Chain A
Amino acid sequence: MPLPAPTREEISRHKQSTVMLSRVAGSLYWMSRYLERAENQARLIDVNLQILLDFGQVPDETLKEHWVPILRSSGDEDLFFQLYETADSGNVTEFLTFRTENPNSLISCICNARENARQVRDQISSEMWEVLNDAYHFIQDANAHKVWSEGASAFYDQIKRFSHLFQGITVSTFSRSEGFEFIQFGKYLERADKITRLLDIKYHILLPKATDVGGAVDTAQWHAVLRSASAVEAYRRFYVADILFKKVVEFLIFQDSFPRSLMFCLEQMNDFIQLITNGAESAEGRRFSDFLSRVSGAQVNQVFNQGLHEFLQKAQLEIAAIGGYLFTTYMYHPPVDIQAEIRFHQQQEQQQQIR
């Protein structure tokens, strides 16, 4: 069951007397988003590396078919082919894990998370900082060759562990104040976005021939989708052991009891939006509420009728829209026009002297 919506009294009780700089709110938000992004990236790479093991020696063309959709769904395909010739496991893993040119790589995400945390060092507990610092040193020390020789899975597991530890420490030690709201909102927003991209990977895989649907490859690919979301066991508790793609999509979009489903994330986002805005109304807030209502009232068949890809694209737009609105309203002040300020204050001083 998702958290019940906070009442007005609860909303005001949540607000503490200490104020929060907009810049600080923004850093907490981005710290949280980058770490969630790192965790999702780690899952994605790990699962997709393992799935290849089931297929033994794979020809290059098939490898490319496996990896390019992943690059495409996060929008990194062009950048990848600027840096590499072939999309094989080694290149793609290095690109997604270690290349600093890739703003979405694991190393970029962790560096950004840590850098944002450093900017607001005074707000977070020492334990929170230490986890991010440990993650940073861990990934700075590793390199692609070490990962390959010592065990890729162990490496990505460690990244996930850092993220879980950070989230656990945050929930256990961070006061339920404004800062917490921005952290959680950022986390669920990022997770919602990532789940849509995960589901969309299948769209980017070349449409299989009619006989391939439901076949071994297709099933394995949907299985990989579930595993990337850590959803296999939870899925099985709801449905039969067969991986049926319609059920997978239904589970990952609509199952509001599963903490990585789109529905769950959207509802969490909504709760934190109420807290951040203190219940204030806005056109963008209403737009998001409408979107949320449409999704919760919808069924998986409608999604397929509309087109899964189209549905996911729309969801990404809505998520970006509410994120952008909250950012510009609460976390952002336009940069100071120093020259204008200087002139203004020099004039003020002259007026003071004339008096």
Chain B
Amino acid sequence: MLFEPYQTEDFFDEMFASDGVTRPHYRGVADALNTVPAAEFRNKQAAVEAAFMRGGVTFTVYSDSQGTERIFPFDCVPRVIPAEEWEVIERGLIQRLTALNLFLHDIYHDQKIIKDRVIPPQYLLSAKHFRREFMHFSVPKDIYVHICGSDLIRDRDGRYLVLEDNLRCPSGASYMLENRAALKRTFPELFLASGVHPVNEYPAELLKVLQYCAPAKFASNDAPNAVLLTPGVFNSAYFEHAFLARQMGIPIVEGRDLVVRDFKVFMRTTSGLVKVDVIYRRIDDDFLDPSVFRADSLLGVPGLVNAYRAGNVSLANSIGTGVADDKVVYYFVPKMIKYYLGEEPILPNVDTYLASEPKDCAFILDNLAKLVVKSANEAGGYGMLMGPWAAKEEIEEFRKMIEENPRNFIAQNPISLSRHPTWTGENFEGRHIDLRPYILYGEKIVVTPGGLTRVALRKGSLVVNSSQGGGSKDTWVLRQ
């Protein structure tokens, strides 16, 4: 029995209520896997990794000097969410994205939330990604965030909390799809025992969103021409860009394939110039247009912002969403929900301290060794201090940085993230996980039933990001 020696220890475990007691929604998985001999499981796990390597489902790590391709490690035991839990998550995420979008619209127009003193103005004005140039600019259908990834964790009591919102270029949807396909090939018997919501509608839904947000000026009987703009093959997420483009049936382009003439965007094709109406851009604002933003960017398209302002091309996500990506602005999201929707947040934030608030700052500096400290605008798990596990030098380094630039830091009590049985190569042990769901905002907000469960593969680690040695699991939302 594969799971017999498994110990939940002092954590909320997704699969086991306590040692040996399987949660009801995991019954199907447990029954199917418990009878699999360890050797067979090991072989299947290896086969899945080989299949990912063959298929090039890889991820290139920036910090590597060679930039080598590695597969995004995949663990064969799925993470299962019962229907009634998902229903709450879904409502909570829809509520959150609605409020965030209203917030973005507000701060780029009348800024009522500032005038009503809900958010102190200096936080927005000092936000790294606030695009002043786009004040009073109208985006198609008033949608700023078409694709959102709000990461969820569970605490020791099993409560779902929002860890952070990713509103610029959230990635990982391709792994969600590839993981599902891989698990179906490797352990088809698992699926028979449970009723799992499919995830393969994601590309079709995404395409609908892209077409829905075509510019107001667009008038034609044909569908709008949507393209995916990628930094290119050397970008760590290139596999995903190519994968999604292929699944949607849209062209994948690089900056050099586009040219702007007469305030319109065109692709350079074998038959000449072809107009582009919507760009799903996987490039940050900063690199989009060297004539307006960073002049040293070779990834962007000179003149793209001109075309965007002229209303001739839509961008998904719109320019300027990064202000809500800011971890300091995250602190205010529950207030946004109350302010714009008049509702209590369904999914709470993690309790957060702001270094820019004097009382919080004193608390943070006194307790650095006990807290998790994060930079306001880093991603991928970088720029983070894990107080209880950090060396003295690192703590002092952060102390200095916080004192120099308090606006740039938040702190949280370390959450005892939930754990999930994960294959170590020899046996199953608990590893910390989170959940990135994929939320699409088109005609309505759609949350894909499932998402990417990321696993911190190293024993005891709380860092799940792929760029720092994380892996992933297939994520199931049960029909019941």
Contacts and interface: CB of A to CB of B under 8 A. Distances in A.
B267 interface: yes
B291 A342 contact: yes
Interface centre among A134, A330, A336 (most CB of B within 10 A): A336
A333 B41 CA distance: 51
A335 B256 contact: yes
B56 A22 contact: no
A164 to B, nearest CB: 18
18 contacts: A19-B251, A19-B271, A19-B274, A22-B269, A23-B254, A25-B270, A121-B242, A122-B245, A123-B246, A130-B55, A336-B302, A338-B290, A344-B302, A344-B303, A345-B260, A345-B291, A349-B306, A352-B310
A331 interface: yes
Nearest to A23: B257
Interface in A318-355: 330-331, 333, 335-336, 338, 341-346, 348-349, 352
A336 B259 contact: yes
B233 A348 contact: no
A341 B292 CA distance: 12
Given A25-B270, A134-B54, A342-B295, 6 more contacts: A115-B233, A118-B56, A122-B245, A330-B270, A344-B303, A348-B303
Contacts, number: 91
Contact of A348 (B55, B251, B263, B289): B263
Q: Would you list the 6 A-B pairs with minimal beta carbon distance, nearest first?
A: A345-B303, A341-B302, A121-B242, A122-B246, A342-B291, A345-B291
Contacts of A349: 291-292, 306
A22 B268 contact: yes
Interface string A16-32: 00111111010000000
Contact of A19 (B239, B269, B310): B269
Interface residues of A, number: 36
Given A20-B270, A23-B257, A122 B252 contact: yes
A23 B256 contact: yes
B253 interface: yes
A94 interface: no
Interface centre among B56, B242, B252 (most CB of A within 10 A): B56
Interface in B298-324: 298, 302-303, 306, 310
B272 to A, nearest CB: 9
B303 A341 contact: yes
A116 B92 CA distance: 44
Interface centre among B260, B270, B310 (most CB of A within 10 A): B270
A178 B54 contact: no
Contacts of A348: 263, 303, 306
A126 interface: yes
A133 B56 contact: yes
Interface string A109-133: 0000001001101110010011001
A21 B257 CA distance: 7
Interface string B234-264: 0000010011011000011110110110010
B415 to A, nearest CB: 38
B246 A331 contact: no
B246 A121 contact: yes
Contacts of B303: 341, 344-345, 348
Interface string A188-232: 000000000000000000000000000000000000000000000
Contacts of A22: 257, 268-270
Interface string B46-59: 00000001111000
Contacts of B243: 121-122
Interface string A85-126: 000000000000000000000000000000100110111001
A352 B254 contact: no
Contacts of B310: 352
Contact of A122 (B242, B263, B270, B291): B242
A348 B292 CA distance: 12
A18 B291 CA distance: 30
Interface residues of B, number: 35
A118 B290 CA distance: 27
A20 to B, nearest CB: 5
B246 A342 contact: no
Contacts of A336: 256, 259, 302
Nearest to B274: A19
B174 to A, nearest CB: 11
Contact of B306 (A19, A119, A122, A352): A352
B261 to A, nearest CB: 9
A352 B292 CA distance: 14
Given A19-B271, A126-B55, A342 B290 contact: yes
Interface in B262-286: 263, 267-271, 274
A342 B245 CA distance: 28
Contact of A118 (B233, B246, B251, B269): B233
B56 A19 contact: no
Contacts of A19: 251, 267, 269-271, 274
A331 B55 contact: no
Contacts of B298: 338
Contacts of A330: 270
A333 B268 contact: yes
Interface string A123-149: 100100110011001000000000000
A344 B269 CA distance: 22
B251 A21 contact: yes
Contacts of A333: 256, 268
B371 to A, nearest CB: 43
A204 B341 CA distance: 83
Given A21-B257, A344-B302, A129 B268 contact: no
Interface in B194-225: none
Contact of B54 (A21, A25, A133): A133
Contacts of A344: 302-303
Nearest to B262: A348
Nearest to A278: B271
Contacts of B254: 23
A22 B55 CA distance: 26
A133 B233 CA distance: 15
Interface string B327-338: 000000000000
Interface string B30-49: 00000000000000000000
A341 B267 CA distance: 15
Nearest to A346: B291
Given A118-B56, A130-B54, A336-B259, A21 B253 contact: yes
B459 to A, nearest CB: 30
A25 B56 CA distance: 21
Contacts of B263: 348
Given A341-B302, A342-B302, A21 B269 contact: yes
Contacts of A118: 56, 233
